[in-house]
Structure 1
């Protein structure tokens, strides 16, 4: 196969086709076109909707059991934050169809307030892609992607689940497409009393732990000309979380949030170039009630207006140039927080040069300059190389410089906000080694991250917490993964196992960072015979410190949790399944004082039309 034909195959996923007829042959449109490019140079773990249903409770469960991320959760369904490779939640970027959706207030995403059942693909990328996805993408990125198919006619499905603790989860999806038009709609509603008990942990009862979530996705695409397509997607989310209290006479609190995200894309695609122009609007609203029987005690509204252009051009069959420009207006107004009608303009210009030396060797170099109002930002650089050394060994090198600018809470929260904060800066390096042996893929990725001017909230002399640029942090370790799939007759066996060694050190105190386990293991094994499917999954976390002094007495003890499920499909349309979570009744916590449930169950029905 010559280089030009190989490029046709490589870039067909995101629409830059080099066919002689200059005719688009794609049947699937992906809103995040950059993700297909990222996969050419970086290791990306993809979680399919079918795999996500194994942990349908929330996104926290999915990431905990199916990725290297450590998830810190204040009880099932409550406030939840991620840690990638020993970094903080603010250094993890959540990306919705190519748009960074981290909160402008907190600078992070609350994992349990990010719906995931309406997405067609969930991608997890360890390490920086900040040149593409912006501020905060230091430890890694979580991508929630939608796609639209053409020439598929009408399809629909319904998923309904009943689980322990009076939990109900319902999801419906419908789509229609012909040669020029594609449309998709989905809706999800889940609720739970969430009143589980863990007697072995100080007779813990998850009092006031109920939650409910409603989510709608609607998207459409129309091919207005042979080389032009308009696409649109909108998501609406409404969440209600009650925060657990330890005793019945404690005042009960809750948190409500409403999010709106909409994206319009004009895609111009010819044989040598493609250009995607995006206009997006995202809005976050939240209200906190320090007494559920009283009016809200605090809250806020954040609005982001985003324009983004992605230009991609083949100089020759081997050289490709990609220029990405973006401009945002970030607005926020708080209630009882000291944040009063603040606004910030943010822009960036990035360039990526790709060279395809052979079918087995390719390189990518990136440069980016951010323009953040009232801040001086560094020039960001990145380099990636991917080499299929032999048919059984692949070598992948990535190096990057990234940064994160302060959030609105960091700057304006009263009392405590600090207008003199500097952005965080990070340097990182990883080296992926992938071996293919007897049908199995074994991946070993050592990595190193160094962060300066870490933004941390610490007690001040005034008696309240305030953010300051304090630490230099060094994080290093190893990500490893074992993947195997075998088909024999009507039997299919699929295995995905991962192990992470992470050491994240405050270079000033020489102490380990909080909530960064030294060891984490996750594993999923699937077996299918004809129409019957079985799976088991496990997750192990080593000793995890909950303070900055490495106190053994306060640390979370190591734990191993295993789940299992079975499902049968009948008449090609009806699937009935059941799951058992925490089979061995393990007593465990991901956040101090908030145990997660012991053994619990669910049954579900899925119907395809």
Structure 2
């Protein structure tokens, strides 16, 4: 099917040209995740637009490493990659696709390098708990993968081509057409790399590290009348990763994955009532080859059927009541894993009250009850607010109880699965301090979090590994970010810099968690004059333990990595770019034994028409 993507894209482009020849006045933009609008008032949220994503077009790991407070643990460039929010792990991070939680039913997490980067219109990174809205795994934070549809914008098309070191190719094609009633958007992209980089100082060659992936998405929107609109968003992704080996004599392995997502939404908007009804179908399939020359050694297919209703009623001008109900049917079939024809029903009811007593105050309280078959699900709550104390200063606060329930692998994997597991429970609180003066914005957010019943796979007396509810984790720290943006004449300057302090410990052993650096710093700066733009990126990670005994000799040493790029726009529609990654040739690892590339280069071309 993916071989037809370029043909389908070209056909849609020609079709669009035949329908419209010029753009119309901008009308409305629809974002599928409507809850994000309110979340931004009370929680730290960063939005990365397409122009930001293209500065690190290699993969999603690169984007988050240089442009967010998240620590990224990556087993070699383009390989298995997991985020760490506020001292937690990937299993305490919810990946949200257009308002729907898409964490794997098998692993309970997402691999950043198998969550296609260029298939979305923008990303939003939200720190802190959010299980009342987004369910299981929304403990440390949420990563939102968003698509959008516009009305009354006419025809828009764009194409992107990039070639980089290690025979790396990235391409995408997007085409959209909309009028007052109809909106259609198609996007397709392909990425591949031989990924055969070397780090001589570590005597490391990234053998068998090649990868390629393909993505196709289609969005559709139709305005039935002034109050009713229907939307459909779908995505098809296929990835192939060959895992690195340390010797040419080692057995080569690989991992294949295919994901399909489809979301249908019916939106009703009245004077006091707004209702959004969603139906979604998610399918994930994976195959692991312990030897690429032999049949697969393990695999599985998971299917998730979701019905979700979001009802909002304006009781008074300043008070809204929000009722969110959801029902899921989770199904899974494993291969050589002991998981056979598993099915689980899950549902939830959440209620939120939002009150704006004045222009300078916003309050929100929420409660949620989960119902998960064969699992004792918790009662959840949240309480948040925003108070404008001065023209230049506002205070936000957020307290919540969040959770993660066991995955299919945790429960049913043979040998080792544990049917008696309890959900992980988290309590967290944060206090956001937002300052704004002219073109400057400063956000200082201290936080505290405690996780109980964390699920860990540990060896048993019988010699097999099995998951148990074990440690209590305490995490506290500070997230800070300074932003500046200004335009004058043909000049435009933008700076964003963040400093993160994280203290995350296992309370039973009183030792720091693995792969949680105590300090992280990141910065992005760009300056554009007329047709030319230059940008710089920097990222520092402090000492990072890789073992549970806090061994300094095994820890990843601190490092600073910088990138730089130049973009030139000509004939209004064409932009040529050149980028240097790892300018100072830093030797660094985010996962033990897997160095990331030294200095490397890429060139790209973006066409808007």
User: The residue matched to 2:276 in structure 1 has which SS?
Assistant: strand
In the alignment, what sits opposite 1:163? Answer: 164
Q: 2 CA distance for matches of 1:352 and 1:389?
A: 25
Q: 2 CA distance for matches of 1:276 and 1:486?
A: 37
Q: 2 CA distance for matches of 1:321 and 1:54?
A: 40
In the alignment, what sits opposite 1:27? Answer: 28
| Superposition map of 1:65-464 within 5 A | 65-201=66-202, 203-464=203-464
User: The residue matched to 1:410 in structure 2 has which SS?
Assistant: helix
In the alignment, what sits opposite 1:8? Answer: none
Q: Which moves more between the two structures, 272-281 or 460-469?
A: 460-469
Q: 1 CA distance for matches of 2:72 and 2:442?
A: 24
In the alignment, what sits opposite 1:488? Answer: 488
Q: Which moves more between the two structures, 484-493 or 220-229?
A: 484-493
Give 1:366 deviation, angstroms. 0.3
Q: 2 CA distance for matches of 1:521 and 1:394?
A: 24
The TM-score normalised by the length of structure 1 is: 0.95
Q: 2 CA distance for matches of 1:472 and 1:226?
A: 52
Give 1:439 deviation, angstroms. 2.4
Asked whether the 8 Å contact 2:27–2:152 carries over to 1, the reply is no
Unpaired stretches in structure 1, ≥5 consecutive residues: 1-24
Q: 2 CA distance for matches of 1:162 and 1:88?
A: 32
In the alignment, what sits opposite 1:567? Answer: 567
User: The residue matched to 1:200 in structure 2 has which SS?
Assistant: helix
In the alignment, what sits opposite 2:51? Answer: 50
User: The residue matched to 2:415 in structure 1 has which SS?
Assistant: coil
Give 1:407 deviation, angstroms. 0.4
In the alignment, what sits opposite 1:4? Answer: none
Unpaired stretches in structure 2, ≥5 consecutive residues: 1-25
User: The residue matched to 1:528 in structure 2 has which SS?
Assistant: strand
Q: 2 CA distance for matches of 1:170 and 1:559?
A: 31
Pair 1:593-2:593 in alignment: yes
Number of equivalences: 584
Give 1:43 deviation, angstroms. 1.9
Asked whether the 8 Å contact 2:339–2:414 carries over to 1, the reply is yes
Q: 2 CA distance for matches of 1:26 and 1:466?
A: 55
Q: 1 CA distance for matches of 2:204 and 2:44?
A: 41
Give 1:438 deviation, angstroms. 4.4
CA shift digits 1:364-407 (9 cap, x unpaired)? 00000000001111210101110111110010000000111000
CA shift digits 1:288-317 (9 cap, x unpaired)? 000111111100000000000000110011
Q: 2 CA distance for matches of 1:35 and 1:392?
A: 24
The TM-score normalised by the length of structure 2 is: 0.95
Asked whether the 8 Å contact 2:27–2:153 carries over to 1, the reply is no
Q: 2 CA distance for matches of 1:70 and 1:115?
A: 19
User: The residue matched to 1:526 in structure 2 has which SS?
Assistant: strand
User: The residue matched to 1:37 in structure 2 has which SS?
Assistant: helix
Give 1:88 deviation, angstroms. 1.2
User: The residue matched to 1:36 in structure 2 has which SS?
Assistant: helix
In the alignment, what sits opposite 2:503? Answer: 503
Q: Which moves more between the two structures, 253-262 or 462-471?
A: 462-471
Q: Which moves more between the two structures, 25-34 or 289-298?
A: 25-34
Aligned-residue Cα RMSD (Å) equals 0.8
User: The residue matched to 1:545 in structure 2 has which SS?
Assistant: coil
User: The residue matched to 1:553 in structure 2 has which SS?
Assistant: coil
Q: 2 CA distance for matches of 1:409 and 1:391?
A: 51
